[in-house]
Chain A
Amino acid sequence: MKRPRGPLFLARRSYRLRRMMDAARMLPAVGMFLFFLPILWRPADTPQPDTARGWIFLFMAWAVLIALALVLARFLVRAEEEEARLSSGDPLATDQMRD
């Protein structure tokens, strides 16, 4: 079934919010990259024991991820409000939230 199409291009603000959603979708991949990084260097595999360094690295990465999530959550809540506003106003406008 063909759906009615929204506008092809969005205003700057909506465009920003949309990219924030993209970023939110990519955040788990970023987290995975950070968390799986120790596999390459294998703490405790080096002659000098460096488990503590691995420990510090993981918590740093964790904190960075939380900070990123905090910033994104701010944007996404706004995006959701925008979406709710659009969908309550104009039934066709919801579709433009797709992309």
Chain B
Amino acid sequence: MSDAGKSGAALAAGVDRDLVFEIEQFLYREARLLDEERYDEWLATMAPDVHYWMPGIQARYRADKADLISRTRMAYFDDDLDYLTKRVERAKQTTAWAEDPPTRHFHMVSNIEVEATEIPDEWVVHSLVLNLRHRNEAEEQTLTARRQDLVRRDETGALKLARRLIRLQQTVLQAKNMNAFL
């Protein structure tokens, strides 16, 4: 899914403004569902075969031949729909102490680019996400990440998230936990 060799015109091929607008709205709405803790509706935006992946990020030298990220390394999320559902189930418990009083989530999504793929109803979507979490009196944590999604139109005509790779900017998570979806 490299951009190399693609001209702006080729990128735009098969991607009209209406589609870009629709996908932007899909991502903005997803962000608001997360901010409002509407997790069941959020899960409903996922394709059944979704892969939701936030790998651990390592600081390695440029000369290092090892992959920058790898499926065999530890990750924050390397989830299918079953795992995501388990996480949501925990967040919904009245004894989820870290969520009560609620974490005040803020998801800002930007720099959205849409690319066509070989498959007519699937698009690669790049975006940036800024997540702020405020808790209790003065706790404030910032997460920033680059995302690469695969968005698919299913048989009902609805857009679904089929893949998400979240490249966190921090190698050492500057927070006590990651009780947020990005």
Do A and B interact with each other, yes or no?
Answer: no
Interface residues of B (CB under 8 A from A): none
Interface residues of A (CB under 8 A from B): none
